Every structure is written in structure tokens, then in C-alpha cells.
């Protein structure tokens, strides 16, 4: 079966849009989530936000490969606490092929989200999962990782973005 959703790459406008809250936990939501996993695995990503599949809804899928963080779905995720302890680490994004830049993020966060059945959860996380969720929640707010790159790296980055847009 062909996927009716496609990976959205910079400068696609949907990447700059604020995604809408999910209100209906129905089969349609499950299908969108499945389509997002399919895209994420096709491009070997570890996380994908709705906008990146052209779905302007607050859906995030994550798969870090490790047992406990395999095939995870976060609907309407919200960061309710972000640790003051921050660190810089290199990030990439499927919507920005071949661009990798260091980004400052909180080392640990607490999030609130809803699962596919409509049940609410709170979860504390750190490490790669915390970084990934901060990156994906940014996407849902129309913010992309290159927006968070330090001033010093912005000039070099501009050239790479220009090449990507052409
Ligand atoms: Ni991304």
C-alpha cells in the first residue's frame, strides 16, 4: 500500500505551522500514526512530528531502537517541566537532509501526553529521549532545530539552507 503522506522537507510551509490539538482518538488517528512510522523508518529517523508528514496535528512518533523506547506514540505532548541543566549536542532532522548542528536542550524534562486510546500520562525522561521530545514538540509549534542554532553558526548554516531550498 502506498503512503498517502509524504516527508515534508525544508522549505515546506507546514514545517512553520503550529499543529492542531488532536481531539478524536479514532481509526483515522491510528492510520496517520502508522503512516508516520512508515515514513520515519523509511528514512531511518528516530522521531517524527505530524507536520513533517504534512499532518498539521499534534502527533509525535519516536523509536530509539532500545527496547523501552520502541514504537512510541505521543499525542498532544506538552513539556511541563524542563530542567535548568542544559547541554549542547549535535542534531539532525529528516526535514533538513544532511544538515547537522549542535543545539542546546535541557538534559531532563517532564512531559504530559495522551496515548492512542485517549489515556493521559505524565513521564519524566532524560538523555536522547528527552532531546528527541524537545525537538519534536518544537516541530508541533512550528519551530525547527535550525532556529535554535547559535549565532556563531548561523552564517555557515544559511548557505546550507539555501542549497537545500534550490
Ligand atoms: Ni525534526
Residue 66 in 3-state DSSP? coil
Name, in order, each residue with C-beta under 8 angstroms of 130's C-beta and a sequence gap of 6 or more. Answer: 105, 106, 107, 108, 109
Q: How far is the CA of 163 from the centre of ligand 1 (A)?
A: 18
> pTM above 0.85?
yes
Q: Would you say residue 121 lies in a domain?
A: yes
1 in any annotated domain: no
> What would the pLDDT profile of 99-141 be if each residue is shown by its tens digit?
999 999 999 999 999 999 999 999 999 999 999 999 999 999 9
CATH number of the domain encompassing residue 91:
3.90.45.10
91: in domain: yes
The residue behind cell 518544537 is 138
* Confidence band of 1 (pLDDT split at 50, 70, 90): low
Residues tagged active-site: 136
Tell me, yes or no, whether 44 lies in a domain.
Answer: yes
Count of C-beta atoms within a 10 Å radius of residue 32: 18
Look at residues 149, 21, 36, 141 and name the one whose alpha carbon lies nearest to residue 94.
36
Check residue 21 and report its DSSP letter: P
C-alpha dihedral, 27 to 32 to 36 to 42, nearest 10°: 80
CA atoms in the 13 A half-sphere facing the CB of 69: 18
Which residues form the domain of 146? 13-165
Give me the number of domains the chain comprises. 1
**Cα(69) to centroid(ligand 1), Å:** 17
Q: How far is the CA of 37 from the centre of ligand 1 (A)?
A: 14
**Would residue 4 count as lying in a domain?**
no
Amino acid at each position: 500500500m502506498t503512503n498517502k503522506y509524504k516527508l515534508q522537507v525544508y522549505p515546506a510551509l507546514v514545517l512553520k505551522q503550529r499543529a492542531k490539538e488532536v481531539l478524536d482518538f479514532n481509526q483515522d488517528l491510528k492510520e496517520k500514526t502508522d503512516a508516520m512510522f512508515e515514513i520515519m523508518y523509511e528514512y531511518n529517523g528516530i522521531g517524527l512530528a505530524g507536520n513533517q508528514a504534512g499532518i498539521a496535528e499534534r502527533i509525535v512518533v519516536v523509536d530509539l531502537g532500545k527496547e523501552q523506547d520502541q514504537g512510541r506514540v505521543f499525542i498532544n505532548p506538552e513539556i511541563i517541566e524542563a530542567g535548568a541543566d542544559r547541554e549542547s549536542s549535535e542534531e539532525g532532522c529528516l526535514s533538513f537532509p544532511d544538515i547537522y548542528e549542535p543545539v542546546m536542550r535541557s538534559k531532563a524534562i517532564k512531559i504530559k501526553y495522551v496515548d492512542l486510546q485517549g489515556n493521559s500520562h505524565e513521564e519524566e525522561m532524560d538523555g536522547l529521549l528527552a532531546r528527541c521530545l524537545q525537538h519534536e514538540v518544537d516541530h508541533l509549534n512550528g519551530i525547527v532545530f535550525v532556529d535554535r542554532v547559535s549565532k556563531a553558526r548561523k552564517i555557515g548554516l544559511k548557505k546550507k539552507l539555501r542549497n537545500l531550498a534550490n
